[in-house]
Amino acid sequence: MHPEEPPVPEGPGGFAVQLEDFAGPFEVLLSLIAKHELDITRIALATVTDEFLQYVRALHEIGSTRALDEASEFLVVAATLLDLKAARLLPRGEVEDEEDVALLEARDLLFARLLQYKAFKEVAVLLDERMRAESTRLPRSVPLDPEVAAVLPELDWRTTPEQFAAIARSVFVPRPGAPAEVGVDHLHGAAVTVRDEAEILAGLLEDGAPRSFRVLVADAGSTLAVVVRFLALLEMYRDAVLELAQEQPLGELTVRWTGAGTGWTADRLSEDAAGPAAVVAAPDGVPAASGAPA
């Protein structure tokens, strides 16, 4: 159905359509189609096109410069709506033709293109508003006030890249009077080692009789010696020269020598395990953890 009178330009509102199922701005029509609130198959695109052509003629008559821009936008949207309507008119249900399947899949892409057009349209309106607002502002083109310019002197940069490189190299040059190496004589070394305690344990257990760990550390002179002797016990268990037994959790730990005939000695312990003890006595007498293997 064609309108009897040509549509009149709506001013800032733009192109408006008069259809059987809808009457209002073209942008609202697009929004309803995109939201699936209006069936595209009920829209007579020929009628919409005729009304738009009359709208463009009316713009020319009043001397508006918007005709070319709106015509370009309308061509994009009209082509999208035409493809969308063609896809929607395909029969629903089981579709075996690959061409029909492709058209059905393209339907969603057409909706996405319509939404993309709407987003670009809204962004363009926003940018236009910002451009109009900023067009009334001009940057300051006068020099600084004399009292402000005199606060800091003008920078006279004369340092060369070679001079910067020399400054960087000077960071790694030792300062005069700096010691060649840092002494560690003032640090307290550990008086107990895992290797020494392992030799003590081997001597206590070499007769093959089982003994509790409490008995094995009865002659330890300090908590440090107890801890290091336990570390030695673990090292010897790892070398399979000891057998450990504990009847209940947190109960008495029984140790028995099983290394008879193996020729095992404490010297076979690894260098890390046989090094200084993991615990060094602090100045106040409280053992402080260091980093020994367990």
Domains of the chain, residue spans: 11-134, 194-289
Q: CB-based contacts of 278: which residues, under 8 Å, 6+ apart?
A: 227, 228, 231, 289, 290, 291, 292, 293, 294
Residue 230 has pLDDT above 70, yes or no: yes
pLDDT digits (tens, 9 = 90+) for 88-138: 665 554 445 555 545 555 555 666 666 677 777 778 888 888 898 888 888
Greatest mean pLDDT among 6-10, 147-151, 179-183, 219-223: 219-223
Question: Residue 165: pLDDT band by 50, 70, 90 thresholds?
Answer: very high
- Ranking 20-29, 154-163, 277-286 by mean pLDDT, the lowest is 277-286
Binned at pLDDT 50, 70 and 90, residue 291 comes out as very low
More confident site: 67 or 23: 23
- Which of 164, 192, 155 has the alpha carbon at shortest distance from 274? 192
Distance in angstroms (rounded) separating the CA atoms of residues 235 and 201: 11
Which of 58-67, 79-88, 229-238, 279-288: highest mean pLDDT? 229-238
How high is the pLDDT of residue 271? 47
**Does 252 score more than 60 pLDDT?**
yes
Kindly report whether the global pTM for this prediction surpasses the value 0.75.
Answer: no
Predicted local confidence at residue 166, as pLDDT: 92
Identify the pLDDT of residue 162: 93
* pLDDT exceeds cutoff 50 at 48: yes
pLDDT, position 5: 39
Q: What CATH number does the domain located at 194-289 have? A: 1.10.10.580
What's residue 163's pLDDT? Answer: 92
What mean pLDDT is reported for the chain? 72
pLDDT at 172: 86
What is the reported pLDDT for 168?
Answer: 92
* 289 pLDDT more than 50: no
Q: pLDDT at residue 199 above 50?
A: yes
Query: What's the rounded mean pLDDT across residues 153-180?
Result: 84
Query: So what's the pLDDT on residue 103?
Result: 54
Q: Is the pLDDT of residue 67 over 50?
A: yes
